């Protein structure tokens, strides 16, 4: 019903920048919150940043001041601008979205397939 497709991951040197995007498509009536999570090998998935449909945001303490989340509601897309990247930011990054589909009375959370970010010299 709903697909989330991430793009923009890759290999970057410490101090560098990357911009991730996540586009939602399908039978979408509305999208509430959208977010980015990450998971490093051997660690639990953790919230990186989240944005509501009213553009309220919250960030993990480890990325505050370096990462910025934004969204384009017309395109059903959420972005994550990552600056001053550190080796400890290396992880698989996953987006999610809380979506109301046509014909549904409840929202449901969907996940993307993930994109790898590697910060290394």
Nearest Cα to Cα of residue 78 among 99, 118, 51: 51
Cα 106–46–100 angle (5° rounding)?
A: 15
pLDDT of res. 30: 94
pLDDT of res. 81: 98
Tens-digit pLDDT profile for residues 66-121: 999 999 999 999 999 999 999 999 999 999 999 999 999 999 999 999 999 999 99
Tens-digit pLDDT profile for residues 42-62: 999 999 999 999 999 999 999
Report the distance separating Cα 36 and Cα 34, nearest Å.
Answer: 7
Report the distance separating Cα 37 and Cα 58, nearest Å.
Answer: 12
Nearest Cα to Cα of residue 62 among 40, 31, 78, 30: 40
Phi, psi dihedrals of residue 28, rounded to the nearest 5°: -95, 125
Tens-digit pLDDT profile for residues 25-44: 999 999 999 999 999 999 99
pLDDT of res. 1: 87
């Amino acid at each position: 019903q709903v697909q989330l497709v991430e793009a923009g991951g890759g290999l970057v040197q410490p101090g560098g920048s990357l911009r991730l995007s996540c586009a939602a498509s399908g039978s979408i009536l509305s999208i509430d919150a959208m977010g980015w999570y990450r998971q490093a090998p051997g660690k639990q998935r953790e919230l990186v940043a989240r944005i509501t449909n009213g553009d309220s945001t919250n960030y993990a303490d480890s990325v505050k001041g370096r990462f910025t989340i934004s969204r384009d509601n017309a395109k059903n897309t959420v972005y994550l601008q990552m600056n001053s990247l550190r080796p400890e930011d290396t992880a698989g990054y996953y987006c999610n979205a809380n979506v109301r589909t046509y014909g549904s009375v409840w929202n449901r959370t969907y996940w993307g397939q993930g994109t790898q970010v590697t910060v290394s010299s």
